[in-house]
Amino acid sequence: MEVTITTENFESYKNGDLPLVVDLWATWCGPCRMVGPIISELAKEYDGKLVVGKCDVEENDEIAADFGVRNIPTILFFKNGELVDKFVGAANKATIEEKFKALL
């Protein structure tokens, strides 16, 4: 399942029953536009196993600041409400999917 992560709903998703993957991105970011479709595809493939969220850092900069995100795209991986992994930069589907698998 792919959801939109905002400052208002972040905590509820982070502390939900399923692991959470958060793609921090911005509309002006070229590498984000490359990674975005991969994240959306993986969200469909892992539906029911984890929640995948997209967080626009221009609209929700508090989330990026709270986790020390200085570069985008950054993908944050949460399990049981805790940050367990972080990936910065663009990558191919296989590389990102390994991170998804490790979260399960």
pLDDT at 56 over 80: yes
Please say whether the beta carbons of 97 and 42 come within 8 A. yes
Could you read off the pLDDT of 2-34 as tens digits, one per residue? 999 999 999 999 999 999 999 999 999 999 999
CATH number where 49 lies: 3.40.30.10
- Give strand pairing partners of 17: none
Query: Of these residues, 18, 24, 32, 35, which one is catalytic?
Result: 32
Does 55 participate in catalysis according to the annotation?
Answer: no
The pLDDT mean for the chain works out to 96
Does 29 participate in catalysis according to the annotation?
Answer: yes
Domain range for 35 is 2-103
Looking at the structure of the chain, the number of domains it has is: 1
Please say whether the beta carbons of 1 and 52 come within 8 A. yes
Q: Is 51 exposed, middle or buried (0-12, 13-18, 19+ CB in 10 A)?
A: buried
Query: Of these residues, 21, 29, 35, 75, which one is catalytic?
Result: 29
Could you read off the pLDDT of 27-53 as tens digits, one per residue? 999 999 999 999 999 999 999 999 999
Residue 17 sits at φ, ψ, to 5 deg, of -70, -30
Q: What is the DSSP letter of 97?
A: H
Q: Label residue 1 by pLDDT band (50, 70, 90).
A: confident
